[in-house]
Amino acid sequence: MLYGAAEFSRDADFAILASPVNLERLRAAMDSLRAEVIAVPPFEARYLERGHAVHFRCGHPDAFNLRIDVMARLRGVDPFDALWARRTTWSFPEGFEIDSLSLPDLVASKKTQRDKDWPMVRRLVEVSYDQGFSSPTPARITFWLRELRTPGLLIDCTRWFPDDASRLANERAALQAALSGDIEGIREELAAEETRERALDRAYWDPLRAELERLRHRRGGSG
């Protein structure tokens, strides 16, 4: 929403530093929201550090039934310290601030096996290109050329920034196709990119899902 690509969602996702002090702060925050852990795993540092998400459901009237998902590791992105150093801080007239993942890190985190995430990746980069085109920076240009998933816009971007496109072409087959104006080739390479990322995401989550299944069976047996 902050980056201009809203989607309907019933939850809030938080990437956190899983230090003992920080987890105690989080526990206090969840208590104030009357939030309880739902499903598995339990709220323990060892699960967060292995890449699991811990899921809470809020009971406070001001946030009733809101689901909060907490993670300390995200597939395909850097460790928390690097994410924090690159964060975007949003200031509001009411006098508070919100820290969020940088746009490149958010896009990287959305490259999952879930169908709903890929249209969001495309939309996030489209909005960045549309809003930032009048004031391009080297970092923005590199981000667009590496991440645009709209064939026409990718071709447009290569024509406006040909030197950057040529410099980055070896990193991305879709960019090579864009430099030659090959729309069908771009579509094929974008599909191949998505297929590779989905496979990487499945490989990351399969052992974690297996561990969750063992925890569910164990919990069911103890009940």
The one-letter amino acid code at 187 reads R
Judged on CB neighbours under 10 Å (0-12, 13-18, 19+), 116 is exposed
Domains of the chain, by residue range, sit at 11-106, 110-202
Per-residue pLDDT tens for 188-208?
999 999 999 999 999 999 999
What is the pLDDT, as a whole number, of residue 221?
Answer: 64
pLDDT at 223 over 50: no
d(CA 52, CA 19) in angstroms, rounded, equals 15
Per-residue pLDDT tens for 87-136?
999 999 999 999 999 999 999 999 999 999 999 999 999 999 999 999 99
What lies within 8 Å, CB to CB, of 113 at 6+ separation is 198, 201, 202, 205
State what percent of residues in the chain have pLDDT above 70: 99
Residues 24, 29, 31, 32: what is their CA dihedral angle, to the nearest 10 degrees? 150
Residue spans of beta strands (DSSP E) within the chain: 11-15, 36-37, 53-57, 67-71, 88-91, 97-100
Q: What is the mean pLDDT of the chain?
A: 94
Structure confidence at residue 67 as a pLDDT band (50, 70, 90): very high
Q: Can you tell me which residue has the tokens 């002090």?
A: 21
Per-residue pLDDT tens for 138-175?
999 999 999 999 999 999 999 999 999 999 999 999 99
What is the pLDDT, as a whole number, of residue 10?
Answer: 72
d(CA 43, CA 52) in angstroms, rounded, equals 10
